[in-house]
Homo-oligomer: A and B are copies of this chain.
Protein backbone atom coordinates (compact mmCIF):
# COMPACT_ATOMS: atom_id res chain seq x y z
CA UNK A 1 0.00 0.00 0.00
CA UNK A 2 1.37 3.36 -1.09
CA UNK A 3 0.65 6.57 0.86
CA UNK A 4 -0.48 9.63 -1.08
CA UNK A 5 0.30 12.61 1.10
CA UNK A 6 -2.00 15.59 0.70
CA UNK A 7 -1.39 19.21 1.65
CA UNK A 8 -4.56 21.33 1.84
CA UNK A 9 -4.03 25.10 1.64
CA UNK A 10 -7.11 27.09 2.64
CA UNK A 11 -9.58 25.68 5.14
CA UNK A 12 -12.85 27.50 4.47
CA UNK A 13 -15.91 25.84 2.94
CA UNK A 14 -14.01 24.06 0.15
CA UNK A 15 -11.05 23.03 2.32
CA UNK A 16 -13.38 21.55 4.92
CA UNK A 17 -15.32 19.87 2.10
CA UNK A 18 -12.03 18.26 1.05
CA UNK A 19 -11.51 16.84 4.55
CA UNK A 20 -15.05 15.43 4.38
CA UNK A 21 -14.71 13.81 0.94
CA UNK A 22 -11.28 12.36 1.79
CA UNK A 23 -12.84 10.79 4.90
CA UNK A 24 -15.82 9.50 2.89
CA UNK A 25 -13.85 8.10 -0.02
CA UNK A 26 -10.43 7.01 1.21
CA UNK A 27 -11.42 3.38 1.74
CA UNK A 28 -12.92 3.26 -1.74
CA UNK A 29 -9.80 4.80 -3.30
CA UNK A 30 -7.61 2.34 -1.42
CA UNK A 31 -9.61 -0.55 -2.86
CA UNK A 32 -9.71 0.78 -6.40
CA UNK A 33 -6.20 2.15 -6.81
CA UNK A 34 -4.11 0.70 -3.99
CA UNK A 35 -3.32 4.16 -2.68
CA UNK A 36 -3.87 5.44 0.87
CA UNK A 37 -4.89 9.10 1.08
CA UNK A 38 -3.29 10.86 4.04
CA UNK A 39 -3.76 14.54 4.87
CA UNK A 40 -0.36 15.58 6.22
CA UNK A 41 -0.75 19.36 6.35
CA UNK A 42 -3.61 21.83 6.35
CA UNK A 43 -3.34 25.59 6.55
CA UNK A 44 -5.93 28.28 7.21
CA UNK A 45 -5.15 31.97 6.67
CA UNK A 46 -2.69 32.28 9.58
CA UNK A 47 -2.06 28.89 11.21
CA UNK A 48 -1.79 25.21 10.34
CA UNK A 49 -1.84 21.61 11.49
CA UNK A 50 1.02 19.41 10.29
CA UNK A 51 1.83 15.75 10.91
CA UNK A 52 3.75 13.31 8.78
CA UNK A 53 1.63 10.53 10.32
CA UNK A 54 -1.53 12.09 8.90
CA UNK A 55 -4.20 14.28 10.48
CA UNK A 56 -7.70 13.20 11.47
CA UNK A 57 -10.29 14.61 9.08
CA UNK A 58 -13.07 15.01 11.63
CA UNK A 59 -10.75 16.55 14.20
CA UNK A 60 -9.56 19.12 11.64
CA UNK A 61 -13.14 20.20 10.97
CA UNK A 62 -14.06 20.21 14.65
CA UNK A 63 -11.04 22.34 15.65
CA UNK A 64 -11.67 24.83 12.84
CA UNK A 65 -15.40 25.09 13.59
CA UNK A 66 -15.03 25.37 17.36
CA UNK A 67 -11.89 27.48 17.70
CA UNK A 68 -11.51 29.19 14.33
CA UNK A 69 -7.79 28.29 14.10
CA UNK A 70 -5.98 25.10 13.09
CA UNK A 71 -3.22 26.16 15.53
CA UNK A 72 -5.49 24.60 18.15
CA UNK A 73 -5.29 21.10 16.60
CA UNK A 74 -4.10 18.85 19.46
CA UNK A 75 -0.33 18.23 19.41
CA UNK A 76 0.12 19.09 15.69
CA UNK A 77 -1.29 22.65 15.57
CA UNK A 78 1.25 25.41 14.81
CA UNK A 79 1.64 29.04 13.82
CA UNK A 80 3.43 28.15 10.61
CA UNK A 81 1.45 29.58 7.68
CA UNK A 82 1.49 30.41 3.97
CA UNK A 83 4.43 29.31 1.83
CA UNK A 84 6.33 27.97 4.86
CA UNK A 85 3.81 25.15 5.22
CA UNK A 86 5.05 23.69 1.93
CA UNK A 87 8.59 23.46 3.34
CA UNK A 88 7.57 22.06 6.67
CA UNK A 89 6.24 18.70 5.67
CA UNK A 90 6.89 16.35 2.75
CA UNK A 91 3.73 15.92 0.61
CA UNK A 92 2.80 14.58 -2.85
CA UNK A 93 -0.14 16.70 -4.02
CA UNK A 94 -1.18 20.24 -3.13
CA UNK A 95 -4.95 20.78 -2.89
CA UNK A 96 -5.16 24.55 -3.22
CA UNK A 97 -8.42 26.03 -1.90
CA UNK A 98 -7.54 29.55 -0.77
CA UNK A 99 -10.00 32.38 -1.56
CA UNK A 100 -10.07 33.71 -5.12
CA UNK A 101 -8.19 36.99 -5.46
CA UNK A 102 -8.45 38.69 -8.81
CA UNK A 103 -6.26 41.67 -7.92
CA UNK A 104 -2.90 39.93 -7.59
CA UNK A 105 -3.93 36.23 -7.47
CA UNK A 106 -2.23 35.72 -4.09
CA UNK A 107 -1.68 33.55 -2.17
CA UNK A 108 -2.78 31.01 -4.80
CA UNK A 109 -0.20 32.00 -7.39
CA UNK A 110 2.85 31.79 -5.12
CA UNK A 111 1.67 28.58 -3.46
CA UNK A 112 1.08 26.91 -6.80
CA UNK A 113 4.40 28.02 -8.32
CA UNK A 114 6.30 26.91 -5.21
CA UNK A 115 4.59 23.49 -5.28
CA UNK A 116 5.52 23.12 -8.96
CA UNK A 117 9.16 23.99 -8.16
CA UNK A 118 9.07 21.31 -5.48
CA UNK A 119 7.95 18.87 -8.18
CA UNK A 120 4.45 18.47 -6.77
CA UNK A 121 1.17 18.06 -8.62
CA UNK A 122 -1.52 20.64 -7.85
CA UNK A 123 -5.32 20.57 -7.85
CA UNK A 124 -7.06 23.90 -7.37
CA UNK A 125 -10.57 25.32 -6.96
CA UNK A 126 -9.24 28.86 -7.28
CA UNK A 127 -10.09 31.18 -10.19
CA UNK A 128 -7.88 34.18 -9.50
CA UNK A 129 -4.46 32.85 -10.47
CA UNK A 130 -5.93 30.97 -13.45
CA UNK A 131 -7.69 34.08 -14.77
CA UNK A 132 -4.66 36.33 -14.26
CA UNK A 133 -1.68 34.01 -14.81
CA UNK A 134 -2.86 31.05 -16.87
CA UNK A 135 0.16 30.81 -19.15
CA UNK A 136 2.70 31.39 -16.42
CA UNK A 137 1.16 28.57 -14.38
CA UNK A 138 0.83 26.11 -17.27
CA UNK A 139 4.38 26.80 -18.41
CA UNK A 140 5.69 26.26 -14.89
CA UNK A 141 3.79 22.97 -14.56
CA UNK A 142 5.17 21.80 -17.90
CA UNK A 143 8.72 22.87 -17.02
CA UNK A 144 8.60 20.97 -13.73
CA UNK A 145 6.88 17.97 -15.33
CA UNK A 146 3.96 18.00 -12.90
CA UNK A 147 0.18 17.77 -13.33
CA UNK A 148 -2.03 20.83 -12.80
CA UNK A 149 -5.80 20.29 -12.61
CA UNK A 150 -8.58 22.83 -12.02
CA UNK A 151 -12.01 21.36 -12.83
CA UNK A 152 -13.50 22.88 -9.65
CA UNK A 153 -12.61 26.42 -10.75
CA UNK A 154 -15.43 26.49 -13.33
CA UNK A 155 -18.97 25.29 -12.66
CA UNK A 156 -18.27 23.83 -9.21
CA UNK A 157 -19.10 20.15 -9.39
CA UNK A 158 -20.57 20.40 -12.90
CA UNK A 159 -17.95 18.81 -15.14
CA UNK A 160 -16.90 21.10 -17.98
CA UNK A 161 -13.11 21.06 -18.36
CA UNK A 162 -12.91 17.28 -17.90
CA UNK A 163 -16.06 16.95 -20.04
CA UNK A 164 -14.29 18.59 -22.95
CA UNK A 165 -10.89 16.97 -22.39
CA UNK A 166 -11.97 13.46 -21.37
CA UNK A 167 -15.35 12.84 -23.05
CA UNK A 168 -14.98 14.89 -26.25
CA UNK A 169 -11.26 14.72 -27.16
CA UNK A 170 -12.09 13.57 -30.70
CA UNK A 171 -13.65 16.97 -31.24
CA UNK A 172 -12.51 20.46 -31.88
CA UNK A 173 -14.46 22.64 -29.42
CA UNK A 174 -15.73 25.68 -31.31
CA UNK A 175 -17.51 27.48 -28.50
CA UNK A 176 -18.85 27.18 -24.98
CA UNK A 177 -21.92 29.20 -24.04
CA UNK A 178 -23.37 28.86 -20.60
CA UNK A 179 -24.57 30.07 -17.23
CA UNK A 180 -21.50 29.91 -15.01
CA UNK A 181 -22.57 31.91 -11.97
CA UNK A 182 -25.17 30.43 -9.64
CA UNK A 183 -25.78 33.54 -7.51
CA UNK A 184 -26.88 35.71 -10.42
CA UNK A 185 -28.95 32.87 -11.85
CA UNK A 186 -30.72 32.58 -8.51
CA UNK A 187 -31.43 36.32 -8.42
CA UNK A 188 -32.71 36.42 -12.01
CA UNK A 189 -34.83 33.26 -11.47
CA UNK A 190 -36.44 34.78 -8.36
CA UNK A 191 -37.05 38.12 -10.09
CA UNK A 192 -38.83 36.16 -12.85
CA UNK A 193 -40.95 33.93 -10.61
CA UNK A 194 -41.78 36.59 -7.97
CA UNK A 195 -41.80 39.78 -10.04
CA UNK A 196 -39.56 41.44 -7.43
CA UNK A 197 -37.01 44.21 -7.97
CA UNK A 198 -33.28 43.59 -8.33
CA UNK A 199 -32.52 45.36 -5.03
CA UNK A 200 -35.03 43.37 -2.97
CA UNK A 201 -34.08 40.06 -4.56
CA UNK A 202 -30.39 40.71 -3.91
CA UNK A 203 -31.18 41.47 -0.26
CA UNK A 204 -33.20 38.26 0.06
CA UNK A 205 -30.32 36.29 -1.54
CA UNK A 206 -27.88 37.83 0.92
CA UNK A 207 -30.12 36.87 3.85
CA UNK A 208 -30.21 33.28 2.54
CA UNK A 209 -26.41 33.22 2.23
CA UNK A 210 -26.62 32.73 -1.55
CA UNK A 211 -25.20 36.19 -2.33
CA UNK A 212 -22.22 37.51 -0.37
CA UNK A 213 -22.27 40.68 1.76
CA UNK A 214 -20.23 42.32 -0.98
CA UNK A 215 -21.90 40.80 -4.05
CA UNK A 216 -19.79 42.68 -6.61
CA UNK A 217 -17.83 39.72 -8.00
CA UNK A 218 -21.02 37.83 -8.76
CA UNK A 219 -23.51 40.50 -9.82
CA UNK A 220 -21.05 42.50 -11.93
CA UNK A 221 -20.07 39.38 -13.89
CA UNK A 222 -16.48 39.27 -12.63
CA UNK A 223 -16.72 35.68 -11.39
CA UNK A 224 -18.22 34.50 -14.69
CA UNK A 225 -15.56 36.45 -16.61
CA UNK A 226 -12.78 34.64 -14.70
CA UNK A 227 -14.38 31.33 -15.69
CA UNK A 228 -14.61 32.54 -19.30
CA UNK A 229 -10.84 33.16 -19.30
CA UNK A 230 -10.15 29.72 -17.81
CA UNK A 231 -12.31 27.92 -20.41
CA UNK A 232 -10.85 29.97 -23.25
CA UNK A 233 -7.32 28.96 -22.30
CA UNK A 234 -7.87 25.38 -21.17
CA UNK A 235 -10.50 24.12 -23.60
CA UNK A 236 -10.32 26.35 -26.67
CA UNK A 237 -6.58 27.05 -26.53
CA UNK A 238 -7.12 30.81 -26.78
CA UNK A 239 -4.39 32.72 -24.89
CA UNK A 240 -6.99 35.05 -23.37
CA UNK A 241 -6.47 37.36 -20.42
CA UNK A 242 -9.07 38.76 -18.05
CA UNK A 243 -9.07 42.15 -19.81
CA UNK A 244 -10.00 40.48 -23.11
CA UNK A 245 -13.49 39.65 -21.77
CA UNK A 246 -16.35 42.08 -22.36
CA UNK A 247 -18.17 42.10 -19.03
CA UNK A 248 -21.58 43.41 -18.07
CA UNK A 249 -23.38 42.32 -14.90
CA UNK A 250 -27.04 42.16 -13.88
CA UNK A 251 -27.31 45.10 -11.47
CA UNK A 252 -29.31 47.27 -13.86
CA UNK A 253 -31.79 44.56 -14.90
CA UNK A 254 -35.27 45.73 -13.94
CA UNK A 255 -38.34 43.68 -13.10
CA UNK A 256 -39.98 45.51 -16.02
CA UNK A 257 -37.40 44.10 -18.46
CA UNK A 258 -37.92 40.61 -17.09
CA UNK A 259 -41.71 40.99 -17.36
CA UNK A 260 -41.51 42.12 -20.99
CA UNK A 261 -39.20 39.24 -21.90
CA UNK A 262 -41.45 36.77 -20.11
CA UNK A 263 -44.51 37.93 -22.08
CA UNK A 264 -42.72 37.02 -25.32
CA UNK A 265 -41.52 33.62 -24.08
CA UNK A 266 -38.03 34.68 -23.08
CA UNK A 267 -35.95 34.76 -19.92
CA UNK A 268 -33.04 37.07 -19.05
CA UNK A 269 -29.92 35.13 -18.04
CA UNK A 270 -26.31 36.11 -17.40
CA UNK A 271 -24.62 34.29 -20.27
CA UNK A 272 -20.91 33.62 -20.67
CA UNK A 273 -19.69 33.06 -24.23
CA UNK A 274 -16.30 31.59 -25.05
CA UNK A 275 -15.33 31.47 -28.72
CA UNK A 276 -12.48 32.51 -30.96
CA UNK A 277 -14.45 35.59 -31.99
CA UNK A 278 -16.04 36.56 -28.71
CA UNK A 279 -15.25 36.44 -25.02
CA UNK A 280 -18.20 37.96 -23.25
CA UNK A 281 -20.29 37.89 -20.09
CA UNK A 282 -23.58 39.74 -20.38
CA UNK A 283 -27.32 39.49 -19.72
CA UNK A 284 -29.09 37.97 -22.73
CA UNK A 285 -32.54 36.85 -23.75
CA UNK A 286 -32.89 33.07 -23.92
CA UNK A 287 -35.93 31.06 -24.92
CA UNK A 288 -38.06 29.47 -22.22
CA UNK A 289 -37.74 25.71 -22.46
CA UNK A 290 -34.29 25.93 -24.05
CA UNK A 291 -31.18 24.39 -22.51
CA UNK A 292 -30.51 27.80 -20.89
CA UNK A 293 -33.80 27.66 -18.96
CA UNK A 294 -32.38 26.53 -15.60
CA UNK A 295 -33.50 27.68 -12.19
CA UNK A 296 -31.88 28.58 -8.91
CA UNK A 297 -28.14 28.27 -8.40
CA UNK A 298 -27.63 25.63 -11.12
CA UNK A 299 -24.96 26.08 -13.78
CA UNK A 300 -25.06 24.86 -17.39
CA UNK A 301 -22.91 24.98 -20.50
CA UNK A 302 -23.42 24.07 -24.13
CA UNK A 303 -20.24 22.92 -25.84
CA UNK A 304 -20.38 23.24 -29.64
CA UNK A 305 -18.06 20.84 -31.43
CA UNK A 306 -17.12 20.01 -35.00
CA UNK A 307 -18.06 16.30 -34.97
CA UNK A 308 -20.46 15.78 -32.08
CA UNK A 309 -22.59 18.89 -32.53
CA UNK A 310 -23.82 20.44 -29.31
CA UNK A 311 -23.33 18.70 -25.96
CA UNK A 312 -25.00 20.35 -22.99
CA UNK A 313 -24.26 19.73 -19.34
CA UNK A 314 -25.92 21.07 -16.21
CA UNK A 315 -25.11 20.62 -12.56
CA UNK A 316 -24.52 22.17 -9.17
CA UNK A 317 -22.22 25.20 -9.51
CA UNK A 318 -21.09 25.60 -5.91
CA UNK A 319 -21.19 24.04 -2.44
CA UNK A 320 -18.56 22.80 -0.03
CA UNK A 321 -18.71 19.02 -0.58
CA UNK A 322 -19.72 19.44 -4.23
CA UNK A 323 -16.72 21.61 -5.12
CA UNK A 324 -14.45 19.31 -3.12
CA UNK A 325 -15.84 16.37 -5.13
CA UNK A 326 -14.66 18.04 -8.35
CA UNK A 327 -11.20 18.40 -6.78
CA UNK A 328 -11.25 14.74 -5.74
CA UNK A 329 -12.06 13.81 -9.34
CA UNK A 330 -8.95 15.73 -10.44
CA UNK A 331 -6.95 13.97 -7.72
CA UNK A 332 -8.19 10.59 -9.01
CA UNK A 333 -6.91 11.52 -12.49
CA UNK A 334 -3.50 12.16 -10.94
CA UNK A 335 -3.67 8.86 -9.04
CA UNK A 336 -4.58 6.96 -12.23
CA UNK A 337 -1.71 8.58 -14.11
CA UNK A 338 1.06 8.40 -11.52
CA UNK A 339 0.28 6.46 -8.37
CA UNK A 340 -2.10 3.60 -9.21
CA UNK A 341 -0.68 0.26 -8.02
Contacts and interface: CB of A to CB of B under 8 A. Distances in A.
Contacts of A321: 307
A51 B28 CA distance: 47
A170 B329 contact: yes
Contacts of A169: 329, 332-333
Given A171-B325, A288-B289, A289-B293, A311 B166 contact: no
Interface in A324-341: 324-326, 328-329, 331-333
A311 B308 contact: no
A88 B11 CA distance: 61
A315 interface: yes
A5 to B, nearest CB: 19
Contacts of A159: 163, 167-168, 311
A102 interface: no
A170 B24 CA distance: 10
A309 interface: yes
A286 interface: no
A314 interface: yes
B170 A21 contact: yes
B311 A314 contact: yes
Interface residues of A, number: 43
A158 B311 contact: yes
Contacts of A324: 307
A314 B312 contact: yes
Interface string A49-90: 000000000000000000000000000000000000000000
Given A289-B288, A312-B315, A307 B24 contact: yes
A288 B293 CA distance: 11
A157 B308 contact: yes
Interface string A16-44: 00000100110010000000000000000
A326 B169 CA distance: 9
Nearest to A311: B315
Given A291-B314, A312-B315, A157 B307 contact: yes
A313 interface: yes
Contacts of A326: 170, 308
B312 A308 contact: no
Nearest to A306: B24
Interface string A291-323: 101000000000001111111111110000110
Interface of A: 21, 24-25, 28, 151, 157-159, 162-163, 166-172, 288-289, 291, 293, 305-316, 321-322, 324-326, 328-329, 331-333
5 closest A-B pairs by CB: A159-B167, A170-B328, A307-B325, A166-B166, A157-B308
Given A171-B325, A305-B325, A307-B325, 16 more contacts: A21-B307, A151-B167, A157-B307, A158-B311, A159-B167, A159-B168, A170-B329, A289-B289, A307-B321, A308-B315, A308-B316, A308-B325, A308-B326, A309-B322, A310-B316, A313-B313
